[in-house]
Chains A and B, each alone.
Chain A
Amino acid sequence: GKKRYDREFLLGFQFIPASI
């Protein structure tokens, strides 16, 4: 299926540092 992301989900990653 399509990878759809709503705005809250996307915004939740703004200030999470890039992973290990």
Chain B
Amino acid sequence: PEIVKPEHYIKHPLQNRWALWFFKNDKNKTWQANLRLISKFDTVEDFWALYNHIQLCSNLISGCDYSLFKDGIEPMWEDEKNKRGGRWLLTLSKQQRKTDLDRIWLETLLCLIGEAFDEHSDDACGAVVNVRNKGDKIAIWTTDCENRESITYIGRIYKERLGLPPKVVIGYQSHTDTATKSGSTTKNKYVV
């Protein structure tokens, strides 16, 4: 009989199990009621099965989010792993929804599930994309906003993976600052 090698039937395990969440803005419901867990996966093959099955970000209506977080971390500031953390934030122009949004989100997902941030990958909690008519946002969330070394390492690798030129600066903001801001912008704690 033909012998089938294990690499032909064993799926490729990821370092972490991940959960994909979907948020749809319904003003008649609470924020938490608008947040739904879509599915969890922990292999490369199951990631693609899910990714290929769902809508691209650019097809979502304004007010929707996708969040990908490590299993056990909820995609909200209040979670124990997020409450002292912050995010590397990319703000996209309206034009970039057509040209860049889906590409950047997929690259963000691949960075996370592939553990692209080396020994600092443990600091990455997840990522969020906000689809908004005024401008879409993509962010990588990390667990501790005081962990400068990990945060700047993650930021540099992320910027490199997105192919952003050196003159483009991205900023990291703590969730506390974002939650308590008074104007429309939050001050950057770090930049790369």
Contact = CB atoms under 8 A, between A and B. Distances in A.
Contacts of B48: 13-16
Say what secondary structure dominates the interface of chain A: loop
A6 to B, nearest CB: 6
B191 to A, nearest CB: 24
Interface stretch (B110-118, B136-144, B180-188): B110-118
Contacts of B107: 7
Contacts of A11: 110
A18 B8 CA distance: 10
Given A4-B15, A5-B12, A19-B45, A10 B115 contact: no
Contacts of B161: 7
A2 B4 CA distance: 26
For chain A, which range describes its interface: under 10, 10 to 19, 20 to 34, or 35 or more residues? 10 to 19
Nearest to B14: A3
Interface in B39-57: 44-45, 47-49, 51-52
A5 to B, nearest CB: 4
B135 interface: no
Contact of B114 (A5, A14, A15, A16): A5
Interface of B: 4, 8-15, 44-45, 47-49, 51-52, 107, 110, 113-116, 118, 121, 161
